[in-house]
């Protein structure tokens, strides 16, 4: 295998992270401070997720890493390779075959199962941070359940733009208690946080926080009665697999305004194409070739 | 120190601890679910499951309280040798292990602070048996509801009422473990 | 036609190969050895050791070579390596009063026991490019004098004897370890000093400068700056006493700052403290000034709202490894987030457009 300890981290560090994960699961949505280590990759590039994965992996796991929904983005490739080397675990690109999925910015389209763990990379774990930069203040606000500032911010959006102007990292309330940052997933993914059969773990390395959602947790996106939360995506089917229910990336194809929409979840798109689903642009190309 | 204290650790610590943690995490994430914990062979009367939890989670940074019948030289030595955890009274403990009656009173343990609810003790309760019967559990980690044999429903319900503060429990018997975090709501008795 | 980009792995491998080639530069030019960097780029090595929190000149030199001279990248390499090292124990506090000084100056007294020793400093060099160095520098030799045998007492000790400077409380308490525990605020002074030693030299320098220009001005003088080697001792439990395990070179700065006093307490000077590895005096002086500014509460001063007084601001932003990681991560793909904002902006614009049409019709 390698000269490193299993999954790179030393045992004492893993124990410290494991204890934080257990407390995070016991108090859903609460950010547990942990002594994040300096990893051999930069802060901001997934060190929190990597440490949570390292403390969670067993030799029997099948590990998948996605960034922006895709397995083949460079940082996903790099993290996958890191664990292949240091933990010797099997890796996969198939969502359904994976037991642990580390993700940056997306929740896979395929429904997760009870046998899976989703590990999120989190840049700024504090949902109140952009309203109040001081940790000493936001910690107090969480302890007092003082979330008025967040509602004021969302309401100011409505009065200025006519709608809530948060499109990703859309704040949620967990089990009626803690307001939580779901990491910068598009708000399209927010409904998947709730009532999810899988364990969801969140790791923020630079900010030294771990938090968690046990399976089937109650997770509500913040909204107002007259402005209910809306999970939105590009109003378009996937041009490769014709999916109408998946989150889409917009790809610019030429400099004359040409564009196409494709699934951000590459495994979902590939699986659908293999099942014979055909998007408009892929169909056009096949026709052209015939 | 008896040679017994030097034995019974994880044969392959990184891998055994990883597997044991997965079982412990699954238990804590899905209150009431009974998982298997193997790999540790602690001296009697500690159960293998409780032994595996201690090896997986305890070290010099986590003071441990051995309650009642567990506070015996053989076990003290075993924990000191394998984990380096300091042995302390209930008030300083990050982990406490013992039979339910020996762990009393519960208000002796740390329940966290409103700013740091994670700074609370985890109690490992040694049970004669562990069955999916008895009190009805609902809350995070539980699809609809589930059942688990609990030592004292009223006391655990009082603990849950402290949420987000409170204690978290592992319940162990032989090589089986279940968990009851402070977030679980309880019905029945 | 768009085709999903594959081969991220090959792209990464190729990038690394190119990087290695660029690192070496023109193969016609002899390759730098680690020893050359250690000996001839010593101040860069010192900075990497200080901010990397690891006293090992050879490893620091290797990191500088690997990082192509990017010191923050080199500090990163050292930090990541340091985390993997097992910890055998902790040393006793070093005794800087027993330092074998190679440089020792005070701005507050013309002379004092131990004297003013300039040592190897740039201070009075005229900053004229020395074109002789562009050829071969040769092996210059400096005149040698007698080494001072006895210990050099601290300047602040003289002031303290008269009660003219605030006394620092001594403590045997084990300081918290920034690298093993999450930062908790408010922080004790020991933790603040640790963070400042590891902090980015440029950031700490900028903050210190801001205090001199009036953002929480504290009238600092360099009470003493000393550079030299000190013994590192470690208590060996089996032996029951401390033994010397090595020697390190450090720079220590004690600033003497504005006095304070009240009706009950006679006026007294106050102090700030800086300690770093190697000869790294700009950092040590900067650190002392920022340390002093952060002590406003303890010394009963007003919060002027100055950046250098703001503990959370200073401690959460002084670490260049954290800062550079997060800053540079915006290079990573964010197109999912960007797409979600694109949708939102388009939707808001459509809604605004419909509103205008409606108003025009009315």
Q: Do the domain assignments include residue A258?
A: yes
> Which residue in the block uniquely carries the two structure tokens 């010191």?
C71
Q: Describe chain C by its helix, strand, coil percentages, rounded to 5.
A: 45, 15, 40
Whether residue A192 is found in the same domain as residue A281: no
Q: Which of A24, A29, A69, A279 is catalytic?
A: A29
The pLDDT tens digits of the residues spanning B103-122 come to: 999 999 999 999 999 999 99
A196 is catalytic: no
Instruction: For residue A99, list chain B residues with Cβ-Cβ distance below 8 A.
Output: none
The reply to whether residue A214 touches residue B141, judged by beta carbons under 8 angstroms, is yes
Q: Is the pLDDT of residue C84 over 60?
A: yes
B61, closest residue in chain A (CA to CA): A16
| Of A221, A236, A256, the domain-final residue | A221
Among the partner residues B115, B118, B141, nearest to A23 by beta-carbon distance: B118
Domain B3-187: which CATH number of 3.10.580.10, 3.40.50.2300, 1.10.3720.10, 3.40.50.11310: 3.40.50.11310
Q: Is the pLDDT of residue C35 over 50?
A: yes
* Range name among A57-66, B59-68, C19-28, C180-189 with the lowest pLDDT average: C180-189
Ordered DSSP codes for chain A: --SSBTTBS-HHHHHHHHHHHHHHHHSTT--EE------SS-TTSSHHHHHHHHHH--TT-EEEEEETTBSSSHHHHHHHHHHHHHH--EE-S-TTT-SEEEEES---SSPP-TT-EEEEE-S---TTTTT---HHHHHHHHHTT--HHHHHHHHHHHHHHSS----BS--EEETTTEEE---S-BGGGHHHHTT-SSEEEEEETTTTEEEEE-TT--EEE--BTTB-------SS--TTT--SSS-EEEEE-STTS-EEEEES-HHHHHHHHHTT---HHHHHHHHHH-
The reply to whether residue C348 touches residue A165, judged by beta carbons under 8 angstroms, is yes
The pLDDT value recorded for residue B188 is: 75
Q: Is the pLDDT of residue B90 over 70?
A: yes
> Which residue in the block uniquely carries the two structure tokens 């401070």?
A33
Whether residue A128 is found in the same domain as residue A34: yes
Q: Which of A24, A48, A205, A263 is catalytic?
A: A263
The reply to whether residue A167 touches residue C343, judged by beta carbons under 8 angstroms, is yes
Centroid of chain to Cα C17: 32
- CA dist A278 and B146 (Å) reads 44
The reply to whether residue C332 touches residue A35, judged by beta carbons under 8 angstroms, is no
The pLDDT value recorded for residue B166 is: 98
The pLDDT tens digits of the residues spanning B28-69 come to: 999 999 999 999 999 989 999 999 999 999 999 999 999 999
- CA dist C67 and C307 (Å) reads 32
* Range name among A52-56, A218-222, A275-279, C180-184 with the lowest pLDDT average: C180-184
A120/C contact by beta carbon, under 8 A? no
A216/B contact by beta carbon, under 8 A? yes
Cα Rg of chain B (Å, integer): 16
Beta bridge partners of A249: A262
The pLDDT value recorded for residue A199 is: 98
Ordered DSSP codes for B94-153: SEEEEEHHHH--GGGS-B--SS-TT-B-EEEEE-S---S-SEEEESTT-SS-EEE--S-H
The pLDDT value recorded for residue B169 is: 98
Best C82, C179, C339 member to test A by mutation, with max A CBs in 10 Å, is C339
CB of A22 closer than 8 Å to CB of B62? no
A10, closest residue in chain C (CA to CA): C84
A1/B contact by beta carbon, under 8 A? no
How sure is the predictor about C86, in pLDDT bands with cuts at 50, 70 and 90? confident
pTM comes to 0.93
Mean pLDDT confidence for B81-110: 97
Q: Is the pLDDT of residue C5 over 80?
A: no
Phi and psi torsions of A66, nearest 5°: -125, 150
Q: How far is C349 from chain A (nearest CA, A)?
A: 9
Q: What ipTM was estimated for this complex? A: 0.97
Q: Is the pLDDT of residue C263 over 80?
A: no
The reply to whether residue B141 touches residue A175, judged by beta carbons under 8 angstroms, is no
The pLDDT value recorded for residue A175 is: 97
Best B164, B166, B178, B180 member to test A by mutation, with max A CBs in 10 Å, is B164
| Close Cβ partners of B24 (under 8 Å, ≥ 6 residues apart) | A18, A22, B35, B37, B53, B56, B57, B170, B177, B179
Q: Which of A48, A203, A205, A241 is catalytic?
A: A241
Among the partner residues A33, A143, A175, nearest to B140 by beta-carbon distance: A175
Q: Is the pLDDT of residue A8 over 70?
A: yes
The pLDDT value recorded for residue C85 is: 85
Chain C neighbours (≥3 Cβ pairs under 8 A) are A
The reply to whether residue A214 touches residue B29, judged by beta carbons under 8 angstroms, is yes
C4/A contact by beta carbon, under 8 A? yes
A162 is catalytic: no
CB of B96 closer than 8 Å to CB of B86? no
Beta bridge partners of C252: C226, C275
A177, closest residue in chain B (CA to CA): B164
Domain of A260 in residue numbering reads as 248-289
The pLDDT value recorded for residue C6 is: 58
Q: How far is B156 from chain A (nearest CA, A)?
A: 14
Q: How far is A98 from chain C (nearest CA, A)?
A: 20
Whether residue A274 is found in the same domain as residue A212: no
Question: Looking at chain A from residue 74 to 113, which residues have their Cβ under 8 Å from any Cβ of chain B?
Answer: none
Q: Do the domain assignments include residue A1?
A: no
Instruction: For residue B28, list chain A residues with Cβ-Cβ distance below 8 A.
Output: 22, 25-26, 214
Whether residue A33 is found in the same domain as residue A95: yes
Whether residue A206 is found in the same domain as residue A284: no
A269 is catalytic: yes
The pLDDT value recorded for residue A288 is: 80
Chain B neighbours (≥3 Cβ pairs under 8 A) are A
Whether residue A171 is found in the same domain as residue A86: yes
Whether residue A51 is found in the same domain as residue A137: yes
> What torsion do the CA atoms of C342, C347, C353, C355 make, to the nearest 10 degrees?
-150
The pLDDT value recorded for residue B1 is: 55
Instruction: For residue A122, list chain C residues with Cβ-Cβ distance below 8 A.
Output: none
Whether residue A215 is found in the same domain as residue A283: no
A219, closest residue in chain B (CA to CA): B140
Going from N- to C-terminal start, the domains of chain B cover: 3-187
A46 is catalytic: no
Average pLDDT, chain C: 91
Whether residue A127 is found in the same domain as residue A172: yes
Among the partner residues C312, C324, C326, nearest to A136 by beta-carbon distance: C312
Q: How would you label C128-166 residue by residue, b for 16+ Cβ within 10 Å and e otherwise?
A: eeeeeeeeeeeeeeeeeeeeeeeebebbbebbbeeeebb
C179/A contact by beta carbon, under 8 A? yes
Going from N- to C-terminal start, the domains of chain C cover: 13-83, 96-120+150-168+178-318
The reply to whether residue C181 touches residue A234, judged by beta carbons under 8 angstroms, is no
Instruction: For residue A184, list chain C residues with Cβ-Cβ distance below 8 A.
Output: 334, 336-337
Question: Helix A47-56 and helix B13-29: axis angle, to 10°?
Answer: 100
- CA dist C6 and B177 (Å) reads 45
* Range name among A88-97, A125-134, C139-148, C274-283 with the lowest pLDDT average: C139-148
A76/C contact by beta carbon, under 8 A? yes
How sure is the predictor about A1, in pLDDT bands with cuts at 50, 70 and 90? very low
Instruction: For residue A168, list chain C residues with Cβ-Cβ distance below 8 A.
Output: 336-337, 340-341
CATH number at residue A92: 3.40.50
Average pLDDT, chain B: 96
Ordered DSSP codes for C39-89: HHSHHHHHHHHHHHT---HHHHHHHHHHTTT-HHHHHHHHHHHHHTS----
Whether residue A209 is found in the same domain as residue A256: no
The reply to whether residue A218 touches residue B140, judged by beta carbons under 8 angstroms, is yes
Q: Do the domain assignments include residue A238?
A: no
A36/C contact by beta carbon, under 8 A? yes
The pLDDT value recorded for residue B2 is: 64
Q: How far is C246 from chain A (nearest CA, A)?
A: 26
Whether residue A253 is found in the same domain as residue A207: no
Best A14, A15, A26 member to test B by mutation, with max B CBs in 10 Å, is A26
- Token pair of A191, please? 């409904």
A263 is catalytic: yes
C297/A contact by beta carbon, under 8 A? no
The number of C-beta contacts closer than 8 angstroms across A and C is 148
Number of domains chain A contains = 2
């Amino acid at each position: 295998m390698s000269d490193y300890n299993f999954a790179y981290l030393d045992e004492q560090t893993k124990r410290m992270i494991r204890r934080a994960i257990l407390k995070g699961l016991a108090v859903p949505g609460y950010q547990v401070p942990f002594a994040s280590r300096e990893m051999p990759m930069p802060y901001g590039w997934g060190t929190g997720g990597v440490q949570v994965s390292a403390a969670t992996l067993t030799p029997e796991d099948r590990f998948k890493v996605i960034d922006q929904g895709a397995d083949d983005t460079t940082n996903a490739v790099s993290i996958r390779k890191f664990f292949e080397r240091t933990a010797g675990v099997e890796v996969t690109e198939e969502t359904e075959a994976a037991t642990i999925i580390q993700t940056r910015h997306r929740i896979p389209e395929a429904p997760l199962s009870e046998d899976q763990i989703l590990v999120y990379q989190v840049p700024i774990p504090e949902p109140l941070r952009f309203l109040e930069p001081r940790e000493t203040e936001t910690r107090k606000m969480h302890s007092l359940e003082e979330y008025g500032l967040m509602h004021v911010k969302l309401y100011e959006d409505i009065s200025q733009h006519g709608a809530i102007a948060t499109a990703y990292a859309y704040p949620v309330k967990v089990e009626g208690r803690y307001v939580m940052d779901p990491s910068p997933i598009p708000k399209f993914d927010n409904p998947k946080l709730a009532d999810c059969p899988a364990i969801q773990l969140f790791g923020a390395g630079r900010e030294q926080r771990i938090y968690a959602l046990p399976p089937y947790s109650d997770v509500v996106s913040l909204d107002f009665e007259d402005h209910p939360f809306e999970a939105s995506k590009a109003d378009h089917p996937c041009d490769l697999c014709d999916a109408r229910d998946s989150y889409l990336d917009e790809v610019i194809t030429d400099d004359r305004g040409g564009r196409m929409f494709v699934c951000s979840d590459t495994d979902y798109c590939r699986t659908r194409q293999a099942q014979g689903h055909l998007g408009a642009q892929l169909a056009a190309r096949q026709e052209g070739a015939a | 120190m008896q040679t017994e204290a030097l034995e019974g650790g994880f044969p392959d610590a990184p891998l055994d601890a990883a597997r044991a943690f997965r079982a412990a995490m699954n238990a804590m994430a899905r209150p009431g679910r009974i998982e298997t914990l193997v790999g540790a062979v602690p001296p009697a009367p500690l159960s293998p499951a409780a032994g595996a939890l201690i090896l997986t989670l305890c070290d010099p940074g986590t003071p441990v309280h051995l309650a009642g019948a567990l506070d015996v030289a053989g076990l003290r030595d075993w924990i000191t040798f394998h984990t380096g955890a300091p042995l302390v009274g209930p008030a300083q403990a990050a982990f406490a292990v013992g039979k339910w009656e020996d762990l009393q009173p519960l208000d002796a343990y740390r329940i966290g602070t409103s700013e740091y609810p994670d700074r609370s003790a985890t109690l490992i309760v040694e049970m004669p048996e562990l069955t999916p019967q008895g009190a009805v559990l609902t809350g995070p980690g539980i699809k609809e509801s589930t059942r688990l044999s609990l030592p004292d429903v009223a006391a655990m319900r009082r603990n849950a009422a402290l949420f987000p503060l409170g204690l978290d429990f592992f319940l162990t018997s032989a090589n089986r473990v279940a968990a009851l975090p402070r977030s679980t709501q309880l019905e029945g008795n | 036609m768009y085709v999903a980009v594959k081969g991220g792995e090959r792209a990464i491998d190729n990038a690394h190969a190119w990087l290695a080639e660029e690192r070496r530069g023109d193969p016609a030019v002899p390759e730098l050895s680690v020893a050359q960097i250690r000996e001839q780029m010593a101040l860069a090595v010192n900075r990497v050791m200080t901010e990397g929190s690891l006293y090992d000149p050879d490893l620091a030199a290797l990191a500088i070579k690997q990082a192509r001279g990017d010191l923050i990248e080199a500090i990163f390499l050292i930090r990541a390596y340091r985390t993997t090292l097992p910890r055998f124990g902790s040393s006793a506090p070093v005794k800087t009063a027993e330092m074998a000084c190679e440089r020792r100056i005070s701005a507050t007294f013309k002379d004092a026991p131990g004297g003013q020793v300039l040592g190897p400093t740039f201070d009075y060099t005229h900053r004229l490019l020395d074109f002789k160095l562009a050829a071969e520098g040769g092996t210059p030799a400096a005149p040698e004098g007698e080494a001072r045998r006895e210990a050099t007492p601290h300047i602040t000790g003289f002031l303290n004897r008269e009660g003219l400077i605030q006394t620092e409380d001594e403590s045997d308490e084990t300081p918290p370890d920034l690298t093993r525990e999450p930062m908790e605020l408010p922080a004790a002074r020991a933790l603040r000093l640790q963070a400042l030693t590891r902090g980015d030299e440029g950031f700490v320098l900028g903050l210190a400068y801001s205090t001199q220009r009036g953002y929480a001005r504290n009238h600092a003088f360099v009470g003493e700056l000393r550079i030299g080697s000190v013994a590192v001792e470690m208590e060996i439990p089996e032996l029951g006493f401390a033994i010397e395990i090595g020697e390190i070179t450090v720079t220590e700065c004690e600033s003497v700052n504005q006095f304070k006093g009240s009706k009950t307490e006679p006026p007294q000077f106050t102090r700030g403290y800086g300690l770093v590895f190697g000869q790294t005096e700009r950092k040590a002086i900067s650190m002392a000034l920022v340390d002093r500014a952060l002590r406003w509460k303890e010394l009963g001063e007003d919060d002027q709202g100055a950046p250098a007084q703001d503990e959370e601001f200073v401690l959460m932003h002084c670490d260049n490894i954290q800062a550079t990681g997060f800053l540079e991560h915006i290079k990573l793909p964010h197109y999912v987030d960007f797409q979600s904002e694109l949708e939102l902006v388009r939707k808001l614009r459509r809604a605004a457009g419909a509103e205008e049409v409606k108003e025009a019709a009315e």
